[in-house]
């Protein structure tokens, strides 16, 4: 049975490895979030906003031309059609309601591709709360449209200028800020990473993805379970949501597409399960890329959302026990897959999602297998990268 224990561990991975100054924040969350989220009042507000504000349920779309090309029945779970353009808003809606009920007045967040930043800025505008988003300086340059969206929504965007100037460094800055402002501030972590209860909490808010998939497949295929579910994994929130209701259904294969960057052995990669070892990153024990003396190795991916040196502890556990199948997709192949989907189905995916599309070329499956790919975000934010790469 795959589930988190009372200490926040999935098998060997998880927990809360945090400085003493963060204990009050984490304990407040741990002591209150379960009862708040389970309350009828919370669920009514959460479900109403998911329906009327986010636009759920998102469609499960049969990709007929893609299916013909790959010789399987391929469905796309259209999280790209969520308000703000990605799955991230499912989590930010849940956490902003939680923060409000905890009496918080100020929100901080980290972002890589900018989608979580936009989703956080969006819900802060909705609820009238102060919002500061930390974003790597490099990511600010390559995800400019999302930076402008955050500013229009009223958020302050603070560049992280240390290290690789990407998601890892933005997370470091956000955590430092939270330590300095523990009483009135809630940190909306965007992925299934960080100290307990964040990984489980974010996965729970994202589980609406696989919850919908089950009844949508029942309508379309006469069965709740696909043969395979494929999702890209950086920290892994979209994958956690897509896998959630299938963790303990072994006949459903769970395929996670990581970013191999310029190649596994290039020194410019983010293929955590290939290159990583167990260690502590951002408050939890997981698998991460690190040197022999425990220094984090800088990751690389053409997609800002997968440019992270670790994976969430639930994914580390899935990998460790062999429940999840992990493939490492190089930049070039991801870009080609993004163009393929654009020209086959008329859907321009986020480059993160394009890694999951290419995974079809790296795994074996039977003819007419039912495959669901979680289309985690749309490619509006990546148009400049697509244009530069393809010379369009």
Give residue-wise pLDDT tens across range 316-373.
999 999 999 999 999 999 999 999 999 999 999 999 999 999 999 999 999 999 999 9
pLDDT tens figures, 61-73: 999 999 999 999 9
Answer whether residue 28 shows pLDDT above 80.
yes
At residue 286 the predicted structure's pLDDT band, cuts being 50, 70 and 90, is: very high
Same domain? 220 vs 184: no
Final residue before a domain boundary, out of 197, 231, 259: 197
Residues 131 and 212 in one domain: no
180 band by pLDDT with thresholds 50, 70 and 90: confident
pLDDT bracket for residue 34 (50, 70, 90): very high
**Range(s) of the domain holding residue 289:** 55-85+207-389
- Do both 278 and 172 map to the same domain? no
For residues 291 and 146, membership in a common domain is answered with no
Q: Cβ-count burial of 315 within 10 angstroms (0-12 exposed, 13-18 middle, 19+ buried)?
A: buried
The more confident residue out of 137 and 357 is: 357
Same domain, 193 and 242: no
Average pLDDT value for residue range 104-128:
94
- Is residue 202 domain-resident? no
Sheet containing strand 9-10, edge to edge, reads 9-10, 13-14, 284-288, 277-281
4 found inside a domain: no
User: Which residues are identified as catalytic?
Assistant: 88, 110, 376
* Domain final residue pick, 197, 231, 255: 197
Same domain, 315 and 368: yes
Question: Are 131 and 221 part of one and the same domain?
Answer: no
Q: Chain centroid to CA 280: how far?
A: 19
Same domain, 128 and 269: no
Least confident residue range of 5-14, 244-253, 349-358, 382-391: 382-391
Would residue 297 count as lying in a domain?
yes
CA angle, residues 16, 17, 18, in degrees to nearest 5:
100
Q: Are 280 and 309 in contact (CB under 8 A)?
A: no
Question: Same domain for 69 and 143?
Answer: no
Does residue 2 form part of some domain? no
For residue 370, being part of any structural domain is answered with yes
More confident residue, 25 or 126: 126
Looking at the fold, whether 26 and 64 belong to one and the same domain comes out as no
Inside any domain, residue 3: no
Residue 317 lies in a domain: yes
- Count of domains observed in the chain: 2
> Within this chain, do residues 27 and 80 fall inside the same structural domain, yes or no?
no
Pair 258, 350 in one domain: yes
Q: Which one of 197, 217, 249 terminates a domain?
A: 197
Q: Which CATH number goes with the domain that contains 160?
A: 3.40.50.1100
Q: Read off the pLDDT band of 182 (50, 70, 90).
A: confident
pLDDT band at 167 (very low <50, low <70, confident <90, very high): confident
Contact, 74 vs 47, CB < 8 A? no
């Amino acid at each position: 049975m795959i589930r988190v224990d009372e200490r926040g561990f999935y098998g060997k991975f998880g927990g809360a490895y945090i400085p003493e100054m963060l204990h009050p924040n984490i304990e407040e969350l741990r002591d209150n979030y379960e009862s708040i989220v389970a309350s009828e009042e919370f669920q009514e507000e959460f479900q109403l906003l998911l329906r009327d504000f986010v636009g759920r349920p998102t469609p499960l779309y049969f990709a007929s031309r893609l299916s013909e090309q790959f010789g399987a029945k391929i469905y796309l779970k259209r999280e790209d059609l969520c308000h703000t353009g990605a799955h991230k808003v499912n989590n930010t809606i849940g956490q902003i309601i939680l923060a409000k009920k905890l009496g918080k007045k100020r929100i901080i967040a980290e972002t890589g591709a900018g989608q979580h930043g936009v989703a956080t800025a969006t819900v802060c505008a909705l609820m009238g709360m102060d919002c500061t988003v930390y974003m790597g300086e490099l990511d600010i340059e390559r995800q400019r449209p999302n930076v402008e969206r955050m500013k229009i929504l009223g958020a302050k965007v603070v560049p992280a200028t240390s290290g690789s100037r990407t998601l890892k460094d933005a997370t470091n800055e956000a955590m430092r800020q939270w330590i300095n402002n523990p009483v009135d501030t809630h940190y909306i972590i965007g992925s299934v990473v960080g100290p307990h209860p964040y990984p489980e909490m974010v996965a729970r808010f994202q589980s609406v993805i696989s919850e919908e998939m089950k009844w949508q497949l029942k309508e379309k295929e006469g069965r709740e379970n696909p043969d395979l579910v494929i999702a890209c994994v950086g920290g892994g929130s979209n994958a956690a949501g897509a896998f959630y209701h299938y963790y303990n259904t072994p006949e459903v294969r769970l395929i996670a597409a990581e970013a191999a960057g310029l190649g596994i052995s290039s020194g410019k990669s983010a293929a955590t399960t290939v290159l990583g070892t167990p260690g502590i990153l951002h408050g939890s024990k997981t698998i991460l890329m690190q040197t022999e003396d425990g220094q984090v190795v800088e990751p690389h991916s053409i997609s800002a959302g997968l440019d992270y040196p670790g994976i969430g502890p639930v994914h580390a556990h899935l990998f460790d026990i062999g429940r999840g199948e992990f493939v490492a997709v190089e930049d070039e192949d991801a870009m080609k897959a993004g163009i393929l989907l654009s020209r086959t189905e008329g859907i321009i995916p986020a480059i993160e999602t394009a890694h999951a599309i290419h995974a079809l070329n790296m795994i074996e499956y039977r003819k007419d297998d039912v495959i669901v790919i979680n289309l985690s975000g749309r490619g509006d934010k990546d148009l400049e990268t697509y244009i530069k790469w393809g010379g369009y």
